[in-house]
């Protein structure tokens, strides 16, 4: 959106929503790029042939918002996996050293409409990114719109600034961080 003020004014629905199949999307021109990051975490290193090519593709300008996802729910009566299971995995900041994945905890009555739980006072805003959506949920949403989920290569290419060889770092310009990175607040602590 460009600024906090513009984000706060955004309704959560792109212009021409459900009238134009590409509403809220941007065309990314394909190119060659280097996948992975060989200077950071081991799991981000490219194991085989780090040079990749992506063709032109469309991707949403923003994360899928609560307003967008709600329009899908209203049109289809879809029930997310978290709703079906009656719980979702939430991040809980470890106080001590924990085993791998020990920072995730199953929480009852948490799903996209109630990411802080059904009894929480805080409610979702239409312009916020939808939460607690599984891959199955995301595919159902994309199918409803006639879209495709970006491939790993497309997503990384877009995240790297459309072809930069190195990753774009999260930078704090004194106003806000220019990347979607965890900044210390867990959903459980915000009830």
Tell me the pTM. 0.81
Helices (H), the chain: 4-9, 66-76, 81-85, 135-145, 152-159
Query: What six digits make up the tokens of 165?
Result: 């060889």
Residues constituting the chain = 191
pLDDT in tens, the chain (191 residues): 778 888 889 999 999 999 999 999 999 999 988 877 666 666 666 666 778 899 999 999 999 999 999 999 999 999 999 999 999 998 887 788 777 777 888 999 999 999 999 999 999 999 999 999 999 999 999 999 999 999 988 988 888 876 655 555 555 555 555 555 555 544 444 44
Closest of 63, 61, 60, 59 to residue 129, by C-alpha: 63
CB 66 within 8 A of CB 126: yes
């Amino acid at each position: 959106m460009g600024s906090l003020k513009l984000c706060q004014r955004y309704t959560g629905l792109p212009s021409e929503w459900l009238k134009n199949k590409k509403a809220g999307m941007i065309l990314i021109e394909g190119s060659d790029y280097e996948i992975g990051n060989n200077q950071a975490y081991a799991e981000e290193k490219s194991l085989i042939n780090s040079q990749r090519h992506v063709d032109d593709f469309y991707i949403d300008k923003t994360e899928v918002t609560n307003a967008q996802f709600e329009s899908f729910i209203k049109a289809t009566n879809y029930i997310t996996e978290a709703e079906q299971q009656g719980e979702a995995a939430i991040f809980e900041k470890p106080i001590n050293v924990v085993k791998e994945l020990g920072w995730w905890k199953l929480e009852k009555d948490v799903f996209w409409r109630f990411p802080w739980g059904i009894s929480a006072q805080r409610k979702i805003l239409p312009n916020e990114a939808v939460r607690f959506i599984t891959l199955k949920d995301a595919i159902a949403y994309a199918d409803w719109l006639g879209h495709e989920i970006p491939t790993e290569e497309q997503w990384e290419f877009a995240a790297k600034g459309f072809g930069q060889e190195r990753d774009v770092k999260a930078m704090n310009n004194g106003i806000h961080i220019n990347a979607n990175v965890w900044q210390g607040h867990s959903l459980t602590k915000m009830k």
